[in-house]
Amino acid sequence: MIRTALLSYGMSGKVFHAPFLQLHPGFELTGSWERSKKLIQQDYPNVKSYASLEELLADDVELVIVNTPVDTHFAYAQKVLEAGKHALVEKAFTTTVAEAEELGALAREKGLKLAVFQNRRWDSDLKTVKKVLDENLLGDIVEAEFRFDRYNPILSPKAWKESANPGAGVLLDLGPHLIDQAIYLFGFPDAVFADIRQLRENSIVDDDFSIMLYYPDKRVKLHAGFFVREGVPAYALHGRKGSFLKHRGDVQEDVLKTGQKPNLTDWGTEPEDKCGLLHCEKDGEVLRKHIPTQQGNYYSLFDGLYKSIVENSEEPVTADDGIRVMKIINAAQQSSKEKSVIDLKE
């Protein structure tokens, strides 16, 4: 069993990590670093509440999950790797490409596994989109749009999310999800154009972005913001044979927040009314129908991480994946500032 510790036990530790570590037979949750509130032992009485990072790293821990604010990811992940521990780092991986590349090089030098927590590759909606693409139901894609929209004009009570630090803002919060999904499905683009804005009253961090990814044969548009009261499809894909529209429907986060624990049977099953709409031509027949949604389960990410450690296989989301995302984020920041298209190099 891989002894695993968390670097915080707030929402992400309680909701996204601890339940899956408990479910997977290959992990043993040893505890969490807790700075003020001591909460983890209320849920897991047999684990430790570490008073400091140094105490955690001195313990018999093999894997550390870096689930702290974005601007701390680089420094904490660096200390974890230097201590000889494997690391799973939440998104955004870092705040700059240089930081991401330095962590990747350090993990290789130490012979350690370094993965990025891009859990939304295992959302039910994205898995359905991938199935449609894998079955070539739309033909060659010419245009795609991925959106992560909300309606919430009020500033977050979490100060670190709204302060002018290099890890704050929606581009580094929701951007990594959308960018990683685009790369996962279509590969690394040739160029990027972005418009990054501040729309909420008194906001000092970006809270709205539109990004255009340029590919030789297609364009992929990404958007996230807080002023979309009436939702539009989160995924809209258009190919030479047809279109697929899918609203965001993955239930895992909402269910986890209620305290329900994941399982390996009916977990991550969307309601039928969230099914995506497929309109295409197949074998000379025009089809327009709703298609079943694939089952989502973040367990697959943890299972892939477990196998990467015990079998020395590739991580489910690699450091190189994280570096690619950071290249697009940093290029998007430059593009918005200069109002220009930025060429990319992988």
pLDDT tens profile 9-23: 999 999 999 999 999
Query: How confident is the model at residue 346, as a pLDDT?
Result: 81
User: How many other β-carbons are positioned within 10 Å of the β-carbon of residue 179?
Assistant: 28
196 in Cβ contact with 168 (< 8 Å): no
Say how many C-beta atoms besides its own lie within 10 A of residue 39's C-beta.
Answer: 15
Helix%, strand%, coil% for the chain, nearest 5: 35, 25, 40
CATH number of the structural domain spanning residue 32: 3.40.50.720
Q: 61: number of CA atoms within 13 Å, CB side?
A: 28
Q: 140 and 111, same structural domain?
A: no
pLDDT, average across residues 82-104: 98
Indicate if 154 and 113 belong to the same structural domain: no
Query: Are residues 190 and 214 in contact, defined by beta-carbon separation less than 8 angstroms?
Result: yes
Sign of the torsion angle spanned by Cα atoms 134, 219, 346, 82: negative
* Same structural domain, 152 and 33: no
- DSSP E strands in 72-139: the ranges are 86-90, 114-117
Going by pLDDT thresholds of 50, 70 and 90, the confidence category of residue 161 is confident
Same domain for 134 and 272, yes or no, is yes
Residues 50 and 190 in one domain: no
How many CB atoms lie under 10 A from the CB of residue 286?
Answer: 9
322 belongs to a structural domain: no
Please report the pLDDT score of residue 35 as a whole number. Answer: 92
Average pLDDT over residues 276-300: 95
The answer to whether 186 and 220 are in contact (CB under 8 A) is yes
Q: What is the pLDDT of residues 299-311, one digit of tens each?
A: 999 999 999 999 9
Predicted pLDDT at 65: 98
Q: What is the pLDDT of residues 20-67, one digit of tens each?
A: 999 999 999 999 999 988 999 999 999 999 999 999 999 999 999 999
What's the pLDDT score for residue 255? 96
Query: What six digits make up the tokens of 266?
Result: 């009916």
- Distance between CA atoms of 131 and 295, rounded to whole angstroms? 11
Contact assessment for residue 171 and residue 332, using Cβ atoms and an 8 Å cutoff = yes
Q: Which of 75-89, 114-128, 162-176 has the lowest mean pLDDT?
A: 162-176
DSSP string computed for 134-178: HTTSS-SEEEEEEEEE-B--SPPS-HHHHSS-TT-SHHHHTHHHH
Mean pLDDT across 317-327 = 98
Total count of domains within the chain: 2
Token match 């974890």: residue? Answer: 80
* 257-283 per-position pLDDT tens digit: 999 999 999 999 999 989 999 999 988
- Whether 321 contacts 168, CB under 8 Å: no
Residue 315 is predicted with a pLDDT of 98
Residue 200 has pLDDT above 90, yes or no: yes
Residue 160 has pLDDT above 80, yes or no: no
pLDDT above 70: percentage of residues in the chain: 100
In a shared domain, residues 310 and 260: no
Q: Quick one: 47 and 97 in the same domain? A: yes
| Total count of residues recorded for the chain | 346
Upstream peptide bond of 92 is cis (omega within 30 degrees of 0):
yes
Instruction: Give dist(CA 5, CA 57) in Å, integer.
Output: 9
Whole-number pLDDT of residue 159: 78
Tell me if 149 is assigned to some domain.
yes
The dihedral built from the CA positions of residue 129, 183, 255 and 260, taken in this order, carries a sign that is: positive
State mean pLDDT over 172-183: 98
Whether residues 94 and 199 share a domain: the answer is no
Interacting residues of 72 by C-beta distance below 8 A, sequence separation 6+: 66, 167
Q: How far is CA 200 from CA 148, 176, 196, 230, 234, in A?
A: 17, 21, 13, 17, 22
pLDDT at 250 > cutoff 80: yes
